[in-house]
Chain A
Amino acid sequence: MTVPSGPASAEVPAVRCRSLGVSFGTVQALHDISLDLAAGRIHALVGQNGAGKTTLANVLGGLQAPDNGTVCIAGNQIPSGDVRAAKSAGLAMVHQHFSLPPSFTVAEALELTAARPESHSVYRRTELYRRWQNDVAEVGGTNVLATRIRDLPVETRQSLEIVRALASEARILLLDEPTALLTPAATDTLFERLRGLRDDGVTILIVLHKLREVAAVADTVSVLRDGKLVLGPSEISGVSQGQLSDAIVGPAPDTDRAIAVEAATDVEQQLLLELVRVSSRESAFEPGLASIDLTVEAREIVGIAGVEGNGQRSLVSVIAGLSAVTEGSVLLGGEEVTRAPPARRRLRGLRLVPFDRNSEGISRSAPLWLNQSALRLIGRRGQFPLISLRQYKRQASEAMDLWRVRYNTVAQPAESLSGGNVQRLVLSRELASGLEVLVAAQPTRGLDFSATNFVRSSLRGLRDAGAGVLLVSSDLDELFELSDRLLVMYGGGIVARFNAPFDRQAVGDAMTGALR
């Protein structure tokens, strides 16, 4: 037996935790977790929505004080819940919810959180821009430096969080679902950089949902289920996909019953959504719509493919009634709604899953039941003014149970839900009765795989019940699997239309503008 020769020895794990426990009220988010992460490797952490992945990352990063247990970084114990100690021990995090200050410009935010800020406390803007321009070059060009964080699209914010963590020169990186908002190409780039960092000796813990990505990047994998560590860390080569998904789902897998949504479709009406030569003004990060023609009929799913930032956001917000149309007309169920307010469209059966679930989809500080009941508040003029809260709450909890949202009470604020459960909350509200047309932007983003399947079968169920679905997604597999027709957006226009079966090569070419 050889005795390890001190804390610098290779046997000392980069991160070691012992019997960690965290509970929120009656929810046991983490239960007796003991885990060693070997230095200089990429460790994947997987598990269902609400399994405790974010909580574990937060405890390791010192953001959340555990109820019991200890965390050691490179052999030294970190005082419980001490962010600064964790940081100075060389640890950096990329959060699932963004942490950069929204009112700062990108350059200011990066400087603020930098590992080694410029020594003087007064700075010049041009200097700041020069200092950070290389880091943001691939995120949206250097002109992004002067933009305020809150004005950035979620995808860019996510990339910035990653830039910030990579620029911090940390020895240990914790990344919580960093790929959720990235395009496949950007994901590949990220993985490439992570491998490079690993080869330089950096230890990485990455939370992922897609097993394909786990296989692509990780050296070891660990599985959390209901707050317990049920597998790992095990060498990725020693675990089969089947074992992994069994560990994630557990002995009693969710039986995927697709929800039965009575689509309120008028059988006579075939054309549910129609855009005729619609143009709109460009926004900060997107071209406006350029004379778009688009129809969604009853009983079909129309997919919208395209590289992020080619007008998909403009399209969704024009249909929602939140951006003005400069030319052309929008029809819902045969009725012209080009200038109609959002409420009118909602009442005509339009349902929306917005891009940014945390700011557009929910109110983080409002209770769950109010978030869930939001659609019942509009267009009820002339009805008895007093309402029964008990009824609202009961119906909200029924809808959330149907979607298996994990929550304690309907009164808890929406921000206490895990990332994937927030998405389920949004879906439980939008994919309910009264739906005629659904515009779904990235509906499976951040969901674990059983929930992803659940959403996909629900979308098919909606279609079969007579509704029309416009599906905006950056996941080509998802689009190919679900769409009856596929449109490709490029530069604010629709440059190609495909019918199933789809030709991956042709769609890919259209997305890069090769067909122009």
Chain B
Amino acid sequence: MTGGLQRAASTVLLVVVSFLLTALILWVSGYRVGTVLSGIIQGSITATGAATSTIRWTIPLLLIGLGVVIGFRAGFFNIGGQGQFYVGACSALVVSLGWREGPVPLVIMCGMIAAILAGMAWSLLPGYLRVQFGTDEVLTTLMMSFIGALVLQYLTAGPLRNPSGTGQTAASERIPEAFRITDSSGVSVTALLLVGGVAVLVWLLLERTRFGLTMTLVGRNPTMARWQGIDVRRVGLGTFALSGALSGLAGAVELYGPGARLVTGFSPEVGFTAVVVALVGMLSVWGTVVAAVFFGGLQSAILFLPIVTDLPPPALVLLHGMVAFLVTIKFRAVRRRRGGLAAKPVAG
């Protein structure tokens, strides 16, 4: 497994380089790098509530990131996690507000199922276009993501708007307190068990089931897979469905957890950061867990930093962007060498 170690080391190196480059930019623009770094550490680990906040952000990043990993296994680049996340949250909200009097576990269950189905639908449409017509899924999932954001905006500003709400951003009514699986910190044993269970299931699916192996073959060489009797289209659709399902579920967890209501444009970056999480996690399940914790910490630090420095929050988003940039370059280089994944219909 020295190859695996080597790849892990080179990924860690990339992250370190991104840190240094960001520090350089901050230093050139006249900020005190030392303060910023200690702010990052405080904001993600040592300050009161920082560690909890790190985990709170890890949860959606991990769920959506695992969806990206699943897509990649079969050779598809689903970057529309943000929109799938939003429509998932919206569906859970509709169920929960529509059935306030229902038995609590049942409502939560139904809300999560609705979220999963909505996420699936949002991902299956690009998926169908991809396997049927060869439409590039990077574009279509991204477009669908924008539509998802608009759906959220429409619901929170329109039919589900909290009439007594004030302020500029539109927000929905709160769901009944009984439905929540965490307090506003966003961390609880239930939530952790749920996410941990999902991670284990995804790992089993990818590494220990026939379907997982089939996905790997399809992702690496669809022509060979067809000769082997594998139904490449069905595998493609199944992959898109599962990938979207996880993002949808993340939306439900967000609502029943820290959110309790939906605000227009909430958590605006998680869906995109999750793609970086999956890439930094080297598209493996456990790597993605580690990367999700790391980026969860960064997210938490971004929210904390304004307290200790005059650094505007977008400055740290720069770090995300830097990591994403470098990891993508590395990834493209590997992909080029493998010569895979030209957008082609997986004709059957």
Contacts and interface: CB of A to CB of B under 8 A. Distances in A.
Contact of A386 (B204, B223, B340): B204
Given A102-B339, A103-B342, A366-B220, A378 B208 contact: no
Given A370-B216, A386-B209, A387-B208, A359 B221 contact: yes
A385 interface: yes
Given A373-B213, A387-B210, A389-B208, A366 B227 contact: no
B313 to A, nearest CB: 41
A378 B340 contact: no
Given A385-B210, A386-B208, A345 B224 contact: no
Contacts of B348: 341
Interface in A347-364: 347, 352, 354, 359-364
A362 B223 CA distance: 9
Contacts of B216: 366, 370
Contacts of B220: 363-366
A364 B221 contact: yes
A375 B229 contact: yes
Contacts of A359: 221, 223-224
B226 interface: yes
Nearest to A352: B227
A171 B228 CA distance: 44
A346 B229 contact: yes
B338 A378 contact: no
A341 B207 contact: no
Interface string B312-348: 0000000000000000000000000011101000001
A239 B109 CA distance: 80
A67 to B, nearest CB: 18
A189 B132 CA distance: 44
Contact of B228 (A346, A380, A387, A389): A346
Size bracket of the A interface: 20 to 34
A342 B226 contact: yes
Given A343-B231, A386-B209, A366 B204 contact: no
B227 A360 contact: yes
Interface in B219-246: 220-221, 223-231
Tell me which of A102, A363, A366, A387 has the highest count of chain B C-beta atoms within 10 A of its own C-beta. Answer: A363
A389 B207 contact: yes
Contacts of B284: none
A506 interface: no
A320 B229 CA distance: 9
A8 interface: no
A346 B230 CA distance: 10
A377 B221 contact: no
A514 interface: no
Contacts of A103: 342
Contacts of A347: 229
Nearest to B222: A363
Nearest to B218: A363
Given A103-B342, A385-B209, A389-B208, A366 B228 contact: no
Contacts of A346: 228-229
A374 interface: yes
B224 A377 contact: no
A342 B233 CA distance: 13
Contact of B340 (A322, A362, A365, A376): A365
B342 A363 contact: no
Contacts of B226: 322, 342
B224 to A, nearest CB: 5
A66 B338 CA distance: 23
B227 A320 contact: yes
A401 to B, nearest CB: 22
Contacts of B231: 341, 343
Contact of B210 (A342, A343, A377): A377
Contacts of A342: 226-230
B204 A374 contact: no
Contacts of B217: 363, 366, 370, 374, 377
Contacts of B209: 385-387
A387 B213 CA distance: 10
Given A345-B229, A377-B214, A363 B339 contact: no
Contact of A361 (B207, B211, B224, B339): B224
B221 A363 contact: yes
Contacts of A389: 207-208
Contacts of B224: 359-363, 374
Given A103-B342, A363-B221, A386-B204, A322 B227 contact: yes
Tell me which of B213, B220, B228 has the highest count of chain A C-beta atoms within 10 A of its own C-beta. Answer: B228
A386 B208 CA distance: 6
B225 to A, nearest CB: 8
B75 to A, nearest CB: 11
B338 A365 contact: yes
A361 B213 contact: no
A103 B229 CA distance: 26
A102 B220 CA distance: 16
B301 to A, nearest CB: 37
A345 B229 CA distance: 8
B230 A343 contact: yes
Given A374-B217, A378-B228, A360 B210 contact: no
Interface of A: 102-103, 320, 322, 341-343, 345-347, 352, 354, 359-366, 370, 373-380, 385-387, 389
Given A322-B226, A322-B227, A377-B213, 20 more contacts: A103-B342, A320-B227, A341-B231, A343-B229, A343-B230, A359-B224, A361-B224, A361-B227, A363-B217, A364-B220, A365-B220, A365-B340, A366-B221, A374-B228, A377-B217, A377-B228, A385-B210, A385-B211, A387-B210, A389-B208
12 contacts: A342-B230, A343-B229, A359-B224, A364-B220, A364-B221, A365-B338, A373-B213, A377-B210, A377-B217, A378-B230, A379-B229, A387-B208
Interface of B: 204, 207-211, 213-214, 216-217, 220-221, 223-231, 338-340, 342, 348
Ranked nearest first, the 3 interchain pairs of A and B with the lowest CB-CB distance are A363-B221, A346-B229, A343-B229
